[in-house]
Amino acid sequence: MDASRPTGFELVRRFAEEIEHARIPPEVRHFASLLLLDTLGVAAAARELEAARISRDFAASSFAAGAGAPSARMIFDGRKVSPAGAVFAAAAQIDNLDGHDGYNPTKGHIGVVTIPALLTFAQVAPGGPEAIDAAGAITTLVLGYEIGARAGIALHATVSDYHTSGAWNALAVAAIGARLLKLLPDKLREALGIAEYHGPRSQMMRVIDTPTMLHDGSAWGALAGATAVYLADQGFTGAPAVTVEAPEVDHIWRDLGAHWVVHRHYIKPYPICRWTHALIDSALQLRRDHGLTGADIAAVELTSFHEATRLYREVPTTSPVAQYSICYPVAAALVRGRIGVAEIEGPGLADPEAARLVAATTVHESAEYNARFPADRWGEVTLVLRDGRRLSSGPRNARGGPENPIGEDEIIAKYRDYAGTALGAVHAQAIEDAVRRLAEPKAPFAPLIELACRA
């Protein structure tokens, strides 16, 4: 590498110092606010899931703030814990309802940690949350997404194993925390190095083969990133972050601040692993076009890429398993005409007609769809009806990303469905209004934090 060219960290440092609200394209700022709204809806809907309750209670008992130490309220809970505990609990909560945003090239998720980091570190920033306006909040959020995206791509480019998002989104948390706590550049460098080293190198396909509450590792990635900020601030060393400073990833950081990726993220229509979304859409389209009910269907044939075929194939008995299933969400969609939060938890998992279709489903792998992953997530569905007809959806790509976008109206409708059901219409609308006000650069950010941390 040319010694005269800035290193990856130098590019990150410049970006962190020079990024300003006015320099971020309007479409990027606007989409960042949609990502924020969508993630808050997922966090609200996930509040009563078992994994979320366990994580918040664990944070309250094990990550409490010491005497005189900074503390922050947990999202949709209100109890005060250490900032690292608050980020951990929120990320665990969001991660365990798989309806949050992602970025195809990373094969993973960033908003699951950036929104918790923003809401938490803003509470303990110098001057408190009242010192942060809308422009500062959106700028910081964009910073986290842009750094997290490149960290994910860099990790996938330099290791052979498929790691969870927590392995790399820890760097996004560290970047957000360092900015809001006003760490000096040398401490930012140490924080990124600590976050990367401590980030969980958890194996993604392991939790696909055996789904549990571990999900995508983002809870521990968030914890690693948040603790890295405080360790670095106290003089703990950890630099360099290989995914930032290694010569072989230099090209990944070259366009930081010039090519924006925030608005290239996808927003999910369904709270299920996105690997199945093309199949769900295909099944719903066939159901609508032919006026079908579950009772009309004798068998289901699913074709997708290898990673999707590894998802759970039996009838799930818990929400984490349902979210990492391939046969069940398609079956539930065919029976109920939708797949939402109610279909993947509690009584929603006990539908005998959906169970019948799961047992009548076969799964096939396509070399063509394998070649298109991870840039796209393709699949197709064939239904065998009781009258002997075969109906095929043809190839379909998952919706929600720039390659196959969904409209803003659908994004907002999803938020209202999730948050309204979980929080009540008044609380949900107040959050939506507060997010909309972030379009005004001088609008305060503190009211949104208050609403998001209300139990």
- pLDDT tens column, 66-109: 999 999 999 999 999 999 999 999 999 999 999 999 999 999 99
Say whether 420 sits in a helix, a strand or coil: helix
**Could you tell me the two tokens for 93?**
């909560």
Spans of all domains in the chain: 8-269+434-452, 274-397
Fold topology of 8-269+434-452: 2-methylcitrate dehydratase PrpD (1.10.4100)
Domains 8-269+434-452 and 274-397 share a fold: no
**What's residue 6's pLDDT?**
87
Residue 68 one-letter amino acid? G
**What's residue 5's pLDDT?**
79
Residue 411 one-letter amino acid? I
The closest alpha carbon to 228, from 130, 394, 113, belongs to 113
Of 3-12, 188-197, 316-325, the range with the lowest mean pLDDT is 3-12
| pLDDT grade for 239, boundaries at 50, 70 and 90 | very high
Cα–Cα distance, 453 to 7 (Å, whole number): 39
| pLDDT grade for 3, boundaries at 50, 70 and 90 | low
Cα–Cα distance, 98 to 112 (Å, whole number): 10
**Could you tell me the two tokens for 83?**
């900032």
The closest alpha carbon to 108, from 89, 125, 91, belongs to 91
| pLDDT grade for 198, boundaries at 50, 70 and 90 | very high
Residues 280, 338: contact at Cβ < 8 Å? no
**Could you tell me the two tokens for 236?**
């703990």
The closest alpha carbon to 357, from 384, 338, 377, belongs to 384
The closest alpha carbon to 268, from 108, 395, 450, 150, belongs to 108
194 sits in which H/E element = helix 185-198
Residues 169, 113: contact at Cβ < 8 Å? yes
**What's residue 441's pLDDT?**
97
Size of the chain in residues: 455
Q: What is the CA radius of gyration of the chain?
A: 22
pTM reported for the whole predicted model: 0.96
- pLDDT tens column, 21-75: 999 999 999 999 999 999 999 999 999 999 999 999 999 999 999 999 999 999 9
274-397 is classed CATH 3.30.1330.120: yes
- pLDDT tens column, 97-149: 999 999 999 999 999 999 999 999 999 999 999 999 999 999 999 999 999 99
The pLDDT mean for the chain works out to 97
- pLDDT tens column, 431-451: 999 999 999 999 999 999 999
